[in-house]
Structure 1
Amino acid sequence: MPRMAREKSYDSIYHIMVKSISEVNLFKDDEDKISYLNYMKKAQEQFEFIVYAYCLMDNHAHFVIDANGSDISKVMHFINYKYAMYFNKRHGRHGYLFQDRFKSKIVKNERYLFALTAYVHFNATAIKGYEDHPEEYAFSSLGVYLGLNDDKYNLIDDKFVLSMFGLNDKIARANYREFIFKVKKFIDIQKEEFAKEPTEYRSMRRILVRDYSPEKIIMLLIEKLNINRYSLLKYRRDGIEAKALLCFILRKLCDLRCADICRILGNIGQARVSKLCSLGSELVLNKKYEGIVEYILLNAN
């Protein structure tokens, strides 16, 4: 039976759930959970989506993700593919790990968004030892929201949700804490979870546009780095960094798959493109290439 087309929008907020196949836990220990969040951070560096909340359980995980102009299917494929490869290698197994690609529901309004973050954070109460103190669970973003923990993975944007609970940071966190411990009593969010209605919530958020011309980006990169086209697009040892930057920027701003970038570069495999994208994400943080993405954004229109 063919799979149903996923309801998608490039400027929506999603409730995402990933779940393992029935006979194996998605996370066998804390190291697995840390690895999954690290892969999510790597994906965030490439796709620039926003994470509002998360909670990792043993056999599934919940996320509230703002696509921010990216394709949520490509984002989750990147994360889950990388994690499944890691998991199978570490635990000496083969075959599928995830029960489905992933489940997703578009958030339809602010009330749903606030209740959803509370629901995601409250998942931790199902874990022995955290029934009354979900904020102490290390693999949930609740501790970050309440100001109890640092965001060690640098994943979470808690300011957007907290801004609705007060202008003062301390008051906002206190109000959010009160809200989440009350909301469980009167909102059964699970009844709405993953319903099929085609609804979406668009706020005043600024969305990163992903429809830039690859050719325009190539020309701007050549100009900025003062190199020739041959150095950028052909295999040359002295052009690796430029090629890595190109792969990273094409992935980020043009919403291209690795296969699409392969066709642009020519004579290069998808695994190589993936490695170049990872290298490019590191290079843009280097002082040598400081401001290069901003330069492309400013001049690519």
Structure 2
Amino acid sequence: MARKVRTWFQGAKYHVTSRGIRKSPLFFEDEDYQKYLNLLEDTRDRYPFILHTYCLMTNHTHLQLETLETPLSIIMKNLNTKYAKYINKKYDFTGHVFEKRYGAELLNSAEYEIDVSKYIHLNPVAAGMAAAPEDYPWSSYRAYVADDGEEIPLINTQTLLAYFPHPPQQHYKHYMKTIITDKSFWKDGKIYIMDREGQPCGQR
């Protein structure tokens, strides 16, 4: 069966997900998370793109990125192949590390870009892994809300923060807190947020 043709054009923005095969962990210790981020930076240096948000969960990853001159397929092949080799070598594993290919959804509006950033940054809260998004160390959230100008070198916050009034960091933080305290987003004691395909976020 032929693979589905993926839409790509210069400047395309995506929500990209990669999952461990059979829901297996992708990360076993802090060093693994950091290695993934290092490889992400190496990939960006080789195939430039703009990374708007990210969150690394136990068995899957979320990237919100914008392509420049390189198709997404090349970017993700480079990243996932190198990380799979790292994991297999370090833990003496064999076979596939990632489940099938990555998933990618084209973001076609500013409103949806903001929604996806919310979806990504609230994943640890939805999964019960953190009480608040700023408590989770492996996401880009703190770069968006830091009053002291804390920066994460990988992340470009300007695009999303430009959609919020001044001061944007405070408005973004307030936006996220409003979502967290809104009872309509809670189900069975956890935050319940739907993506465009009707799937809940926060799956470990």
Q: TM-score, normalised by structure 1?
A: 0.59
Q: What residue in structure 2 maps to residue 182 of structure 1? A: 178
**How far apart in 2 are the matches of 1:129 and 1:64?**
21
Is 1:43 aligned to residue 43 of structure 2? yes
Matches for 1:145-184 after TM superposition, within 5 Å: 145-147=144-146, 150-152=150-152, 154-166=153-165, 168=166, 171-183=167-179
CA shift digits 1:22-63 (9 cap, x unpaired): 162111111111101100000111111001001100000111
CA RMSD of aligned residues (A): 2.2
**Selected match of 2:196 from 192, 200, 205:** 192
**How far apart in 1 are the matches of 2:158 and 2:79?**
24
Residue identity over aligned pairs, in percent, reads 28
Q: Tell me if the contact between 2:17 and 2:63 (Cα under 8 Å) persists in the aligned partners.
A: yes
Q: Could you say what secondary structure the match of 1:84 adopts?
A: helix
Q: Could you say what secondary structure the match of 2:194 adopts?
A: helix
**How far apart in 2 are the matches of 1:123 and 1:109?**
21
Residue 182 of structure 1 and its aligned partner are, at CA, apart by 2.6
CA shift digits 1:198-217 (9 cap, x unpaired): xxxxxxxxxxxxxxxxxxxx
**How far apart in 1 are the matches of 2:151 and 2:117?**
16
The amino acid that maps onto 1:37 is L
Matches for 1:56-205 after TM superposition, within 5 Å: 56-128=56-128, 130=130, 132-147=131-146, 150-152=150-152, 154-166=153-165, 168=166, 171-183=167-179, 185=182, 190-193=194-197
**How far apart in 2 are the matches of 1:59 and 1:137?**
15
**How far apart in 1 are the matches of 2:56 and 2:2?**
29
- Tell me: higher relative CO, structure 1 or 2? Use CA pairs within 8 A at least 6 residues apart: 2
Residue 189 of structure 1 and its aligned partner are, at CA, apart by 5.8
CA shift digits 1:60-101 (9 cap, x unpaired): 011100112321100000100110011100010111000022
The amino acid that maps onto 2:162 is S
Q: Tell me if the contact between 1:104 and 1:194 (Cα under 8 Å) persists in the aligned partners.
A: no
Q: Tell me if the contact between 2:39 and 2:82 (Cα under 8 Å) persists in the aligned partners.
A: yes
Unaligned runs of 5+ in 2: 186-191, 200-204
The amino acid that maps onto 1:64 is Q
Q: Tell me if the contact between 1:105 and 1:193 (Cα under 8 Å) persists in the aligned partners.
A: no
Change (3 A) 1:23 1:64: closer
The amino acid that maps onto 2:163 is M
Structure holding more strand per residue:
2
**How far apart in 2 are the matches of 1:194 and 1:28?**
29
CA shift digits 1:227-267 (9 cap, x unpaired): xxxxxxxxxxxxxxxxxxxxxxxxxxxxxxxxxxxxxxxxx
The amino acid that maps onto 2:156 is D
CA shift digits 1:87-116 (9 cap, x unpaired): 100010111000022000000101101111
Matches for 1:192-231 after TM superposition, within 5 Å: 192-193=196-197
**How far apart in 1 are the matches of 2:135 and 2:154?**
18
Aligned residues: 190
**How far apart in 1 are the matches of 2:79 and 2:195?**
27
Q: Could you say what secondary structure the match of 1:18 adopts?
A: strand
Q: TM-score, normalised by structure 2?
A: 0.85
Unaligned runs of 5+ in 1: 196-301
Q: What residue in structure 2 maps to residue 276 of structure 1? A: none
